Structure 1
């Protein structure tokens, strides 16, 4: 029975090209080395002694840079190709991370975080477009899931190793590891993957979803972006306010916070691919999966209102993990499925920019609420936002179904 279950699990990984596996490998290397992000708010608060407000503004700079980088990455992917953008982005940002550790003043950090994220986040839309070139259309959602799996497997290792690194050599070690892994990952990509012109991707299973030639005239997509914005605001609490909450409310160490995030990564590694395969085999509507993810995320925020039992942090992480497994793979796929021929880069740029905006709002909103009203008010606010995203999801589902009915 165990052998059969293992075989079924392995079958979920069949049918990918060599290039997709290499993309997954470099994503794993890069993400395992990305140890700065989970501890950035703690580093700014505890090591550099910035106030909540200053930490919030530095994270805003981080998010603004991410937005501009996502837009540039998508636009340039359509203009000069994803391959050159990916190599430039990871190599240059790797070098920049080496120097970031030496910058400690407030304004210099705001400028530096903005600049490094402009370069680093050019990678994301370019990588999404590369999947359109190297993955077969029928494998696209699974290919996205494989890359997410690599991200989460790397993320399972990264925070725990990062916590150990902080406790042994301090925060400075994170910047060296982060920079080195960016460079190692992109050198492997450059040596093993040859440039290929992107092919236009159309979601054959859901042809009615490719509707328009302008994202700004695509009403369901614009509402969907609001859903992504809200889910991003909630999810990014894991990297902004929640690590501080662990320390201040429950006195957890960096290693313990890292292990909680590792728990998230391990669950995603074992469960997400079979879950996505099951949803696709049974032709469950991807919008319904996204909506269920939004509901679970809202519940995870409300669970943090229980602040007198440390075990609630594990239960909250369990709900958050299943929420992201339902929401994020199908959000990527839905966004690409609506991109008209020749506009894949621009659609994915706007999609990734939404998460960059979420990072800005997540950090600044969360820190401001906590500073003025406390942690409990923040969890209630985030959970309520999640319920709003569920209502928006029902609206998008209705709009698309009405459009399909009118086209029949």
Structure 2
């Protein structure tokens, strides 16, 4: 008689099934992979990412220095390296010395300051409102500051930057508060599209009033005809020295709010759970935006789209951490502004286009793309 094979239930207890053996080995591997020893031996990915961010920031600083140096050579009168170096050392011809030291160097420095102010204020506005379309120009902040400057020139006879910068601060703060307050009254709160529409409407109103003052009062037109389109050229003497302290203070305040802004960007409830004083952070951030936009607008006029483009661009490298976003914006936004200024000198040589016109050409397609993505719900 042929013996019968034992069934599965008749197997000895010391012989587990193959599937059971595989399950046991998988559990053992999972246990080993999550043990404290295994966790300690894993490479720290955050450290590698921080290192890449630092390297990228250093590359950006070098690139910023290169474009600033290039801006000293380009203009209606092209200069060679030897002429620029002799002008910087004080051994050049008086005309070359005046062109480089008194015109092009302050222009480049002002581009760095204004670019950093607009880039960081845009990143902070996007984080504070949780609105990817937020920008000092789109939200009406720059236009409000410009209208305040026009009022200062028209009705108070103020023509120096040291006088009308305070009006620019007041106009920037009032515009920001007005747009955000009106947007909150909607049925769904301050949504990105609602903030954008209200900001565009306020910008149109402020721009219309400013242009009306320029048409009615010739002295306002003479004072603001180039400033009104956004320009870092032909600024009054001492502009860089005057606005630099305001912009530096605004940048420092913005950087100090980075960690708290990261929490607020996750939502007010989570921020409260983490112990973040939401009211204090929002007030401090609004103050930083006001100082940065007010000083930048008083110095160079209402330049749009820089604060919109740069945060989105650097976010591709830094990720969602606003501390790094603002740090990169300090470098990347001046690069964009100085490059736009150089392009404006070249495309209409020997005359030039103002930097505000060039940034508008560059930024308008970006805004259209972002709005289309917002409509599709990608944001």
More helix by share: 1
- TM-score, shorter chain, exceeding 0.5: no
- In our comparison, the structure showing a higher alpha carbon Rg is 2
TM-score, length of structure 1 as denominator length: 0.37
